[in-house]
Amino acid sequence: MQKNETIQMANIIEAFAKINNDIITVFDKMETNIRLYDDFKIWPKHEKSRRNSKKDYYDFNELLDGHWYVKNCYGEINSRVYGFSFLIYIESDTDGYLNKFVKELELNPNAPMVCVYGVYNPVDPKQIEFTYNGEDDLEQWYMEVVGITEGWTTFPNETFEFGSALHVALEYQDEDGSIIEGYEKWFKEATVKIIPITDLDSSEKIEEVINDLMNLEI
């Protein structure tokens, strides 16, 4: 390999390291701001040492393996779930459920670099979980967290826009009105917004976004 190629590769690695550091900083500041709401009970993320796993959920830091890089922060206030996800890098999903908003927002399908934040109304507040029980559940889990899937009955047909509120609902009941088995842990409706992570460019902006999140109504 020529020397200039090596230099350019090193520059890319350096750029990635610093951008990644900034992404983590922004995420941490988002989390700091949401924690400052007195009634907000943040859900602990999975760590082996934690005993609380009922509402467990994960970050996915597998970027170096070419897979997922998703950071999550969720919690509850008054039986509603509030939180946000940073979708930084995802496996190619050109035919999947992310395709619609990735295309319409003209995002890089592998590196959407968006923050999805919203408020979720659980089917049953006592049973709600962000569970991840193994490889087979990965997609299901991910759909729940992002909250924008083709499973939503009111999945918006209009054009996606950054920062606009998307009101979505899930078909969680049978024809007789009973809750479909397994859906009791999910959400029946939600309001979510999508913004570029790069729009979170100051402490003031981060605080504004968290305030907006905590004032979202379903």
Residues near another protein (CB under 8 A): 2, 4-5, 8-9, 11-12, 14-15, 18-19, 21-22, 25-26, 28-29, 31-33, 35-38, 65-67, 105-107, 113, 162, 196-199, 201-204, 206-208, 211
* Nearest-angstrom CA–CA distance, 126 and 73: 19
Q: Which of 143, 142, 93, 87 lies closest to 113, judged by CA?
A: 87
Nearer to another protein, 36 or 180 (CB): 36
CB of 216 to another protein, least distance (A): 17
Nearer to another protein, 124 or 207 (CB): 207
Nearer to another protein, 14 or 174 (CB): 14
Report which secondary-structure segment, H or E, holds 30. helix 3-35
Contact partners, residue 165, CB within 8 Å, separation at least 6: 191, 192, 193, 216
CB of 204 to another protein, least distance (A): 5
> Contact 91/68 with Cβ under 8 angstroms?
yes
Nearer to another protein, 42 or 179 (CB): 42
Nearer to another protein, 170 or 213 (CB): 213
Contact partners, residue 72, CB within 8 Å, separation at least 6: 45, 57, 58, 59, 83, 84, 85, 86, 130, 145
CB of 5 to another protein, least distance (A): 5
CB of 70 to another protein, least distance (A): 16
- What region, left, alpha or beta, does residue 171 occupy, with left being phi > 0 and alpha being psi -120 to 50 degrees? beta
CB of 184 to another protein, least distance (A): 29
